Amino acid sequence: GKPLPVCSDCHSAHTIQRADESGFKLEIMTRCGRCHEDVAKTYFDTYHGKVSQLGYTKTAKCYDCHGAHDILPVSDPASHLSRQNVVATCQKCHPGATRRFAGYLTHATHHDPEKYPFLFWTFWGMTTLLLTTFVFGGVHTLLWLPRAMQMRRELRAAKDQPSPTGDLP
């Protein structure tokens, strides 16, 4: 397995920030991501990760779910994310959280077709549908443009022609 972290992996040896300061809260995901690169990428794809990147500090960070000085494998009954504790962990931020809510795959990604095939194919299916719609819409618009221009010229020409019945309305 991976070596266990030491204090300086998360805390600088010279400028120790308090965990409740916004600088620490915004930097911690990057620090965790140094060792947990694949999981950090999926975090930044989520709502929590996106708003954190925008500078919002009051959203879940790695330690809110996984713990800080007491990080344990999910298989350990004392882990914040063990089957017996995961709902209580979610309820810290989401008071109405249920077991079903806690079952959400936080780090699922559409980039991994082997681990999450449904998510992968759904993402690519919807992306293909969207792009196809835009391409056909764009081609249709470009093909319609000459006809619309011709109709406009014909309407202008008809306006400029004197009426065969005189100036009667």
**pLDDT tens across 7-55, in order?**
887 777 777 777 777 788 888 888 888 888 888 888 888 888 899 889 8
pLDDT at 169 over 60: no
pTM over 0.85: no
Where exactly are the structural domains of the chain? 1-69, 72-107, 110-161
Q: Does position 149 have pLDDT exceeding 70, yes or no?
A: yes
| 10 neighbors 28 (Cβ within 8 angstroms) | yes
For residues 108 and 118, is the Cβ–Cβ distance under 8 A? Answer: no
Q: What percent of the chain has pLDDT over 90?
A: 44
Confidence of residue 2 (pLDDT cuts 50, 70, 90): low
Q: What is the pLDDT of residue 164?
A: 66
Q: Which pLDDT score is estimated for 111?
A: 86
Does the structure show a pLDDT above 70 at 166?
A: no
Q: Is residue 1 predicted with pLDDT exceeding 70?
A: no
Q: Read off the pLDDT of residues 128-146 as tens digits, 9 standing for 90 and up.
A: 999 999 999 999 999 999 9
Task: Report phi then psi at 144, rounded to 5.
Answer: -80, -25
Across the chain, mean pLDDT equals 88
Exposure class string for 81-117: b at 16+ Cβ within 10 A, else e: beeebbbebbeeeeeebeeeebeeeebbbbeeeeebe
**Torsion 164-165-168-169 (CA) sign:** negative
